Every structure is written in C-alpha cells, then in structure tokens.
Amino acid sequence: MEDTDGEEGFDQAVTDRWFHASASAGAELNLSRHLRVWGLATYCFVGNKETMGIPAGGLSGFEASLGLRYLWRTVVD
C-alpha cells in the first residue's frame, strides 16, 4: 500500500514481487530399536524490497530443528 495524498491511510495498492528459495540438510541417528534423534538445518533466502520497516533480505536466515522420534510397535504381525 502506498500513501499518495499525505493524509492518514493508504490510497493505492502496489504489487511487489517476492522470490523465495531454501535449502536444507538433515540427519537421523538410531539410539535404539525404538528411539531416534534427528536434526535439520535450513537456510531460506527471500528476495524482497524494503517494505513496512523490513529491510531488503530481512526475511532470510537460518533455521535449525532437533527432535526425538519414538517408534511404538515396530513389529507387524
């Protein structure tokens, strides 16, 4: 949105183009027959113009996740 007359409120809608790309890598380690621990690392790149106080590229960054996975009744009869 863009203010074109200097008064409070927005007068015109403006369409901005956004670009998003992400890459991730993960691993899983079996601690026992029923318990696994996993990790994931991701980097997101967001190409945006400065808007609403968010600088260009301000939405880009790293993310990391860790977790436990417990498997119940892994034997199928």
User: Where do the domains of the chain lie?
Assistant: 19-70
Contact 63, 39 (CB under 8 A): no
Could you tell me which of 70, 38, 43, 36 has the C-alpha nearest to residue 59?
43
Q: For the range 59-65, what are the long-range contacts, defined as Cβ-Cβ under 8 Å and sequence gap of 24 or more?
A: 64/39, 64/40, 65/39, 65/40
Residue 28 has pLDDT above 90, yes or no: yes
Confidence class for position 75, pLDDT limits 50, 70, 90 = low
Task: State pLDDT tens for residues 34-63.
Answer: 899 999 999 998 877 766 677 777 788 899
